[in-house]
Structure 1
Amino acid sequence: MWLLFLLVAAVAAVFSCARVCRAAVAAARTGRPARPPAPAPAPDPAGDDGHAPGLTLYEMAYLSGGPQRLADVVLVLMAQKRRLLLAHTGWATVVEPVAQDPVERATLSAIGPDGQRPIPAVREALVADEAVRAVADKLVADGLALPAAARPGIRSGIRQVWAAALLVVLTAAAAYWMAPPGTDTALLLGWFSLPLVLCLGTLAVARFELHPYRDWATDEGEQRLPGKADPPGSRLPSAPLAPLTSLISLALHGPSALTDPALRAALHSSGA
């Protein structure tokens, strides 16, 4: 009977690990540039930071946290320029309806003609907007961001490996409990350790090798980000460039890196 449990555990482990491997190979292939990388863009209010050649502020935000992070960056950017008011209660209010780029225009459109809207609703509208998709498409074409179709494959595959590891443990316990008297339980558990080691080994490799693909950036895109592994602001300018420093920290590390408590409360209170 325990051989049947072992067969089930082995099939589940092999199938789930093979799925992760196939998804990783597909991600690596789709992550290669489809065309030569574009030259560094001309400086723009939301783009030139002096630390990531060829990446705008919006692109850094997308590679670090996806379209939701990009939406947070443009909201804070417009708030720092006094064109929006972000309340600690999680509402965005238009102060001056002036946009300097397509993403800012999309932000004003997302807020709507009433001039006020909850930040979660604005963020949701921005994520689906054509201007944000254009940023993502450019990064994907340059091989810096993973295509949307490839991300769920690895994520779901890793979840399946976790489920297979749990199944191995459960089947091993059931086989141990149902083993007839005189069965060599050490040998029995030793056989079940093989699919368990396979699952845990795959998870360990995925943890260290596939982390860029589980997020938004490819390996190349991850390398283009300026000092993402450093503490917020540790490699960024200070003094006269404090607003830009705050925006770069937000793009790389999320709302918790903001130094302005009012802005941080506005984004966190809205579910960021």
Structure 2
Amino acid sequence: MFWVLLLLLAWAVAGAACTRLCLAAVRAAAVDADAGQGHDLTLYEAAFLSGGPGRVADLTMVSMARQRRLLLARTGWATVVDPRGRDEMERSVIGAIGPGGQSRIAPVRAATETADAVRGLADRLVSAGLAVPDGARTTVAAGVRQVRLAAVFVSAVGAVALLMPTVSAADSDMPRGLIALWFALPLALTLSCLAIARVEVHPYTRWASPAGQRLLGALARRAGGRGRAGAAGGTAGAEDDRSYLTSVAVLGVRAVGEPDLRAAFAHREH
């Protein structure tokens, strides 16, 4: 019964892959549930937890552009208007643009992502239990890929078992439908593991830990409340600008309302 050996091999591959993914997900989620209590996220922290280093670079450029200290042209070029950065993130953007004071947005974003200021921000968030360590993100992603490969392997081995000619009387007595059912079990294991990972792991293991995700939700609700209050009572100024930048931090450049800024980032993406 050669197909039994193939079945055992399929179970071994599927079991090992699913076990690795489960362990990686547990390690990624093993963060103090009370982490971040009493911590108010800054805009840069919210941007990192929502979209990583690239989101921090985008937020910094949008903030400087709204203050007319950085010109983002519709053609995808960034021009420094005020060379004095007000914090380390702004100084990183200005340094990435270079001494000429002008550069395309895409390389500025790429250089800012790897700047010391962004790496320091990431380290602080990881230490506070609000961000997922880079190693954990890589391990979970590798585990998901391995489970996907295991599902393909089980399907291929099952197909071989069904298509191979019978080599013994015992094989000939076994209905092929029953053989297919046996191979469907490890395949169901891999597919269900992927489905659970999609629901339970994917939403928060890219950048924010569960505690960081909770703080992001609270920040978004506060920003929404301030925006509604401003619209009802005519409040303008710093609160409105912070609500706007909070939306950019959490949602990315798609939250940018100015047509010229949207065109600049759209040109960068193309």
Unaligned runs of at least 5 residues, structure 1: 41-53
CA positional deviation for 1:228: 8.3
Match of 1:140 among 126, 131, 148: 126
Match of 1:200 among 188, 191, 196: 191
Counterpart of 2:86 in 1: which secondary structure? coil
CA contact (8 A) 2:18 2:190 kept: yes
Larger Rg: 2
Matches within 5 A, 1:32-71: 32=32, 37=36, 40=39, 54-71=40-57
Residues 236 and 202 (structure 1), Cα distance of their counterparts in 2 relative to 1, 3 Å cut: farther
- Quote the Cα distance in structure 2 between the aligned partners of 1:115 and 1:14: 56
Matched-pair identity in %: 44
Which contiguous aligned blocks of 4+ residues in structure 1 show a shift greater than 4 angstroms?
35-40, 227-230, 233-236
Q: Which residue of structure 1 lines up, in the alignment, with residue 20 of structure 2?
A: 19
Match of 2:245 among 222, 244, 247: 247
CA positional deviation for 1:4: 3.0
Give 2:265's aligned amino acid. L
Unaligned runs of at least 5 residues, structure 2: 167-171
Match of 2:200 among 194, 209, 215: 209
1:5 is aligned to 2:6: yes
Residues 86 and 248 (structure 1), Cα distance of their counterparts in 2 relative to 1, 3 Å cut: same
CA contact (8 A) 2:226 2:240 kept: no
CA contact (8 A) 1:227 1:235 kept: no
Once superposed, what is the RMSD of the aligned Cα atoms? 2.4
Counterpart of 1:217 in 2: which secondary structure? coil
Residues 191 and 36 (structure 1), Cα distance of their counterparts in 2 relative to 1, 3 Å cut: closer
Residues 36 and 226 (structure 1), Cα distance of their counterparts in 2 relative to 1, 3 Å cut: closer
Q: Which residue of structure 1 lines up, in the alignment, with residue 263 of structure 2?
A: 265
Stretch deviating more after TM superposition (166-175 or 236-245):
236-245
Tell me which protein shows more helix as a share of its residues: 2
- Quote the Cα distance in structure 2 between the aligned partners of 1:229 and 1:156: 31
CA contact (8 A) 1:111 1:122 kept: yes
Matches within 5 A, 1:40-119: 40=39, 54-119=40-105
Q: Which residue of structure 2 lines up, in the alignment, with residue 47 of structure 1?
A: none
TM-score for both structures, normalised by structure 1: 0.85
Residues 199 and 132 (structure 1), Cα distance of their counterparts in 2 relative to 1, 3 Å cut: same
Provide Cα deviations, 1:104-150, integer angstroms capped at 9, x if missing partner.
Answer: 11111111101111212111111111111111111111100011111
Provide Cα deviations, 1:60-85, integer angstroms capped at 9, x if missing partner.
Answer: 00000101111100010000010111
CA positional deviation for 1:38: 8.2
CA contact (8 A) 1:144 1:218 kept: yes
CA contact (8 A) 1:92 1:118 kept: yes
TM-score for both structures, normalised by structure 2: 0.86
How many residues align? The count is 255
- Quote the Cα distance in structure 2 between the aligned partners of 1:55 and 1:228: 7
Give 2:103's aligned amino acid. R
